[in-house]
Each structure stands twice: as structure tokens, then as C-alpha cells.
């Protein structure tokens, strides 16, 4: 990044040409992509799923420890994760960015390199967007489009009493990664000491380069599971299971000893005297899938090592609880990340 | 707006509940709207059109003279205008906003009142979005979805030699409205004098409450016109016709005496010693439709009083020109609004 080309030297349309010249359209349904007023998408008796996210510097990300390429990758991932959480397959994205004059063309190229890498990984086409200057900082808006067979989409409101509550992967890692990077940033600003990220690859990776659970949706299709409800874990397990319970008008019981942790993350939590369970419940950005299935799907769920059964759905009147390792029953409260402070 | 409720008192989800509680789903294709990870849209052998815009305070709008309700209305209009420019019918929008703590709930309500009024006027459903705080100012991202009969969408690249160049409505008004409001803002800041907007309703309205040309698309369908190319006039006539010419690999000739002006706007331009033609060519945000049709559609075009024929398409090698009232030939250059400075 030694060279610095001022974006102003390209103009808006020159910039768009520059940023989109390497687009590779993969889906035959992408009839019209970037370069027109809108994108046209063909359908063959399927249904379209749309999701959008706004990511703002200083609110959602800190560029002092987030490489722009990782930010581009993550921006796509958080959106396709929403599409998977509907049991759909992402097919296209639209990406808008706003940026102050502090950003060079090379910086935007880094960002887009991450975006394109994620498009490749998740087989989605970038089909539109907008670019603008901003008065302050970097602003990202992504809309993802997905498709799903008629009526196979999964909402948050379908959980039934006695359904199993399941989650993919491991929880709390992204929150621990954030805690580590914030701590190192503080140490650096106070002492100038270089960050010590030794042995923390997993949790830093969970924060800076999360992946969406494409594999889980593919597994559902393969073994014919249709979850009764689903959401992605973006605000924290506690907040997200409460969304399912509220919208399904049900209660829940979670078991602390069933929550899936990564060993490295757990060790780091103890080192900081943090409770891994609290990190899983209140830490966000894990982008795992949280879903409910009827009990008869138990055998199918058991066969997938990436899925943990962590509790079950109850009557609404029974409330929302977690049973601790010691056998105590605590009420679940939403303590997820809140971007409206 | 006497009452002031702090947004923080609602929390993110409380705010979303509040802002979306009055949504009225109008299209039977809106199977799932706000309140889930994504929106689901049904299709019946039609094609989906998507468009997105990012609007940033201080770059795209000035809240010192833009009422928030008008801003909400306009945010939707500029997006559905892109959908019409594809010859499609808008059906859904997704809306994300970011806002600093300077904004009260009442202020957001005003903004959403405008959004919902536009949704009503254009028969679109708000089906999703995101909300966030921002470090500075108000940020709006809208994605619009539209549908079109298979292969009836109109791109920018289909103009043919000898096609007629047509534009709806009148040009330059929004630029003059902006000029007036910027002038009055300056006078107010220097002298404290209240704005004098007497007799300037049209141009102020063109800037603050533009409308998208739904009627033109309906007319095309009614009389069976399929334009060979189309774009909406958002950057200025000059910049926008050059988009069509560049993407169609053609040239053009425009006639100054054919450009449509509003008389009140023209009078105001002369008062400020501005050339109305320059306002039309370089002023943006008119949100009229600029399109090309084969000559055999001449009679159909003539029947619609809202459409002006302003020139014709030539070979690429002949370049892009405007013939002045005096008979002089000038090269057209892009001088549209540029949001990447």
C-alpha cells in the first residue's frame, strides 16, 4: 500500500468502473448486474430472500485492528449468514460504501478484495450498489438476495413445545477476540507495546474472519431437516434465543453444560477471569445458526458433529431459563450487543 | 415535536418494533417482511429488479432546510425511480438508517412518516432493514425491489442509430431549488433574515419532494412501447445521456430548443442570471425518465403530453452534441453532480 491514488482523480464513475471491472458473474440467474439502474434476477418457480445490514466505522468495527480486506470479507459474511438463517441459499449481493477522504483507492481495493473473496467462497454475485463520500469514517451497506424452494424458508416464529434447541459450531469466540484486540489496543496506546496475539489465532479469527454456516443448510437439505425456527447468532445466544421464544410465543430451557466452546477460547476466557458461559450468552458476532427441530429429528441432528443440542422449547408461561452446571436455574435475559446505544 | 424521547430508552429492538408497528403489507408477494432475518418474496414467472442508494447527511442532503418527512419521502422516491428506469414496477423496499444521538425518536418518526407516505404513493412494501447509531449525522441506505415481465426490462445499452431521445416532465428545477435554498441559508446565516421562498413553490418542491415517473412506465405498458434504452435523470441530463451513449456505443444530438422547462423555474433562473439550459444539462435530481425509442414509436410518444422528444441517436464516431437555439453545435460534457469529491 505504498502507492496512494486519490479517489478524486477517478471521479465517481471511474471509481465504479475500477471497483467492478473484475466482477465474475457465476449464477445464470444474474441477468443484469452492476452498471445499470438495477439488477435483474431470474427465477424459476423459487422464492427470493433479501437481507440488509448497515456497518459503520466506530460503531461496528475499529479500523485500528481490522484489516480492510477482512472487513470486506466479513461484511459479506454477516449478510449471507442472514440468508442461511432463513434456510435459503444466497445468490446475489448489492454493496454500497461511503468513505471520507482519508481512504485511498488502494484502501478500497483491499476492502473489495475481501468482498470478492467472500463472493467466491459463498458463490454469490455482486450485482449492484452505490458509492459516496462521507463526512466521517467508513460506511458499508450490504443487501443480500437468496433463493429458497417454495415455502421451505424458516422464520423465527415456528418453535413448538418440546422442540430441541440446537446450535452450530462454537460460541463466545468472537467476543473474546474483540476483548483481546481491545485490550492490546489499549496497551499499545499507553505503552507502545506491540500486540501479543500468541496462541489466540482462533478467537481473533472468529472476530475478524467469521464464516457463515453454508454447510449446515446443505446438511438440512441432504438429510431432509426443516427446522421449525432459526436465527443466526449475531447479538449473543441469550438475545437470539429470546427472539425465537418471543416470536414463537414459547419459553425455553438451556443447559450450561451443553454449550459448545472452543478449548483455546475457553482457556483465554479463564486467563482474563471471564466466564465462558457469559461470553457465549452475551457475546455477539459468532454467526452460528441457532434453530429448533422436532424431537423426531434427534437422530439426524446427532449425526452431524458440528451441531450441539443445547436445550428445549417449553410453554410460554414457563419463561426462559438456563440450568447451570451446578443445577441452578437462572432466568435468561437479553444482554446482546446493542448498536443503538 | 415538543416532546423528546431518547432513542436509548427503547433499545434497538424496541425502536424497530416502534418504527415498524404500522407497516401495512400491500403485495401478496410479500410473504415475510420486517421482523425476521430476511424478506421472502414470491414470484410467478416474473423477474426481480433490485436497486440500492446510500444517502449521507452533509453529502446528499442538508437538514437545515430539508424537513425529515420530506427526506423520508425522497429517499424512497429516488430508489423507486431507479426501478422505473428499468421499466419495472417497484414492489418492496429495505431501509437501513444510522443516526447520531442528536436525533430524537420524534425526529425518526417524522422521517418514517415520509417513508410510509411514499410507500403508499408507489404501492411498495417496506420488508426489511437495519438500524444503527452513527458517530456523525444521518445515514440512509435503501434497497428497492421491483418486478418485470420476463425480458421486458430496459437497460442503458440498447440505443440504436436514429432512435428518438425522449425525456419526461421538466428539467433543471431541482437544481434551481437547491440554488435557492442554499442562497437563503447563506443569507439567514449572515443576516438572520427569514427565507424568501415566495413564488418558488415549484422548484423547492422539485428538490424537496420529487416524484418518480410511475405514470410513464404505465403509459409504456398501455400503448406497448418498449424503450431501447432508459435511465433516470439523477446526475443531470448531460451526464445521463452520456451514460446511455457510452453503454450503447453510440453518439447523440440534442436540441436546446426542445428541452422542457417549467416557466416558473425558467423565470427564477433568469433572475439569478443562470442559463436554464445549463441547469438542465448539469443540474441533477430531477428524477425524470430519459429514454430512447425507435422512430416508429413517434406517434405513440407524441400522444403523451408529459414526454418531450429532445434529440436522436447517432453513430458513435459522430460524438455527443447539443445544437443551440442559435444553431451552434457544442460537445456535450458530463458535469453532473458528483458525490465522490
Instruction: Please tell me which residue, A312 or A284, carries the higher pLDDT value.
Output: A312
Provide the pLDDT for residue A112.
Answer: 87
Nearest to B146 among A38, A94, A341 (CB): A38
Q: Mean pLDDT throughout A305-334? A: 95
**Residue A182: partners with Cβ closer than 8 Å, 6 or more residues away:** A62
CA neighbours closer than 13 Å in the CB half-sphere of residue B67: 13
Contact B132 A39 (CB under 8 A): no
Nearest to B98 among A54, A97, A155 (CB): A54
**Residue A217: partners with Cβ closer than 8 Å, 6 or more residues away:** A84, A87, A88, A89, A289
Model pLDDT for residues B74-95, shown as the tens digit of each residue: 999 999 999 999 999 998 888 8
Provide the pLDDT for residue B36.
Answer: 60
Contact B37 A86 (CB under 8 A): yes
Among A280, A278, A284, CA closest to A337: A284
Instruction: Please tell me which residue, A13 or A198, carries the higher pLDDT value.
Output: A198
Q: What is the largest CA-CA distance in chain A?
A: 65
C-alpha distances (whole Å) from A159 to each of A146, B314, B337 are 23, 62, 51
Q: Mean pLDDT throughout B2-30? A: 66
Q: Mean pLDDT throughout A259-263? A: 91
Highest-confidence segment of B23-37, B191-205, B230-244: B230-244
Q: Mean pLDDT throughout A45-57? A: 86
Contact A37 B232 (CB under 8 A): yes
Instruction: Please tell me which residue, B161 or B147, carries the higher pLDDT value.
Output: B161
Model pLDDT for residues B113-136, shown as the tens digit of each residue: 899 899 889 988 888 888 888 988
Nearest to B141 among A7, A96, A153 (CB): A96
Provide the pLDDT for residue A307.
Answer: 97
**pLDDT band at A169, cuts 50/70/90?**
very high
Contact A54 B11 (CB under 8 A): no
Question: Residue B82: its chain A contacts at CB < 8 A?
Answer: 37-38
Residue A147's DSSP bridge partners are: A48, A89
Provide the pLDDT for residue A216.
Answer: 97
C-alpha distances (whole Å) from B330 to each of A290, B77, B244, B253 are 63, 33, 18, 10
Percent of chain A at pLDDT > 90 equals: 49
**pLDDT band at A340, cuts 50/70/90?**
very low
Nearest to B38 among A37, A83, A132 (CB): A83
Contact B47 A43 (CB under 8 A): yes
Kindly state the cell numbers that stand for B18.
416502534
Provide the pLDDT for residue A18.
Answer: 72
Q: Across chain B, how many H-helices and E-strands are there? A: 10, 13
Question: Residue A46: its chain B contacts at CB < 8 A?
Answer: 43
Contact A54 B94 (CB under 8 A): no
Nearest residue of B to residue A130, measured between CA atoms:
B53
The ipTM assigned to this model is 0.86
Can you list the domains of chain B with their CATH numbers? 7-148 (3.30.1330.10), 164-331 (3.90.650.10)
**pLDDT band at B341, cuts 50/70/90?**
very low
- The whole-chain average pLDDT of chain B stands at 87
Q: Which of B145-149, B206-210, B241-245, B275-279 has the lowest mean pLDDT?
A: B145-149
Nearest residue of B to residue A336, measured between CA atoms:
B12
CB pairs under 8 A between A and B: 236
- Chain B contact probe: residue of A6, A37, A133 with most B CBs at under 10 A: A37
Nearest to A143 among B88, B131, B143 (CB): B143
Cell 446475489 sits on residue: A92
Strand A229-232 and strand A138-148: pairing? unpaired
Provide the pLDDT for residue B26.
Answer: 58
Contact A341 B128 (CB under 8 A): no
Cell 446528499 sits on residue: B60
Provide the pLDDT for residue A164.
Answer: 98
Burial class (CB in 10 A: 0-12, 13-18, 19+), A153: buried
pTM summary value: 0.88
Nearest residue of B to residue A47, measured between CA atoms:
B42
- The whole-chain average pLDDT of chain A stands at 87
Provide the pLDDT for residue A192.
Answer: 82
Contact A46 B43 (CB under 8 A): yes
C-alpha distances (whole Å) from B320 to each of A64, B159, B172 are 47, 14, 20
Instruction: Give B89 to chain A, closest Cα distance, Å.
Output: 12
Nearest residue of A to residue B11, measured between CA atoms:
A340
Nearest to A128 among B35, B51, B340 (CB): B51
Helix (H) or strand (E) holding B266: helix B263-271
**pLDDT band at A245, cuts 50/70/90?**
very high
Amino acid at each position: 500500500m505504498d502507492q496512494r491514488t486519490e479517489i478524486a482523480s477517478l471521479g465517481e464513475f471511474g471509481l465504479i468502473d475500477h471497483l467492478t471491472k473484475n466482477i465474475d458473474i457465476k449464477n445464470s440467474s444474474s441477468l443484469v448486474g452492476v452498471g445499470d439502474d438495477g439488477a435483474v434476477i431470474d427465477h424459476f418457480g423459487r422464492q427470493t430472500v433479501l437481507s440488509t445490514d448497515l456497518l459503520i466505522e466506530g460503531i461496528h468495527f475499529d479500523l485500528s485492528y481490522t484489516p480492510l480486506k477482512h472487513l470486506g470479507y466479513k461484511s459479506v459474511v454477516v449478510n449471507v449468514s442472514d440468508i442461511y438463517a432463513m434456510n435459503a441459499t444466497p445468490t446475489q449481493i448489492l454493496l454500497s460504501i461511503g468513505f471520507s477522504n482519508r481512504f485511498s483507492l488502494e484502501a478500497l481495493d483491499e476492502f473489495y478484495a475481501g468482498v470478492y473473496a467472500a463472493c467466491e467462497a459463498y458463490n454469490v454475485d455482486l450485482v449492484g450498489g452505490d458509492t459516496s463520500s462521507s463526512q466521517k469514517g467508513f460506511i458499508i451497506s450490504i443487501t443480500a438476495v437468496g433463493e429458497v424452494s417454495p415455502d421451505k424458508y424458516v422464520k423465527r416464529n415456528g418453535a413448538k413445545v418440546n422442540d430441541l434447541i440446537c446450535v452450530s459450531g462454537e460460541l463466545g469466540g468472537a467476543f473474546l477476540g474483540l476483548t483481546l484486540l481491545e485490550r492490546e489496543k489499549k496497551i499499545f496506546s499507553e505503552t507502545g507495546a506491540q500486540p501479543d496475539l500468541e496462541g489466540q489465532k482462533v478467537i481473533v479469527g472468529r472476530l475478524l474472519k467469521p464464516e457463515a454456516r453454508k454447510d449446515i443448510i446443505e446438511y438440512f437439505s441432504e438429510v431432509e431437516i426443516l427446522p421449525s425456527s432459526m436465527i443466526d447468532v449475531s447479538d449473543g445466544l441469550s438475545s437470539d434465543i429470546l427472539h425465537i421464544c418471543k416470536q414463537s410465543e414459547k419459553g425455553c430451557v438451556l443447559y450450561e453444560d451443553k454449550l459448545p466452546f472452543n478449548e483455546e477460547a475457553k482457556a483465554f476466557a479463564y486467563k482474563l477471569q471471564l466466564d465462558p458461559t457469559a461470553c457465549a450468552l452475551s457475546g455477539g458476532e459468532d454467526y452460528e445458526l441457532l434453530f429448533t427441530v422436532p424431537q423426531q429429528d434427534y437422530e439426524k441432528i446427532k449425526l452431524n458433529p458440528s451441531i450441539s443440542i443445547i436445550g428445549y422449547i417449553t410453554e410460554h408461561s414457563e419463561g426462559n431459563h438456563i440450568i447451570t452446571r451446578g443445577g441452578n436455574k437462572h432466568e435468561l435475559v437479553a444482554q446482546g450487543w446493542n448498536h443503538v446505544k
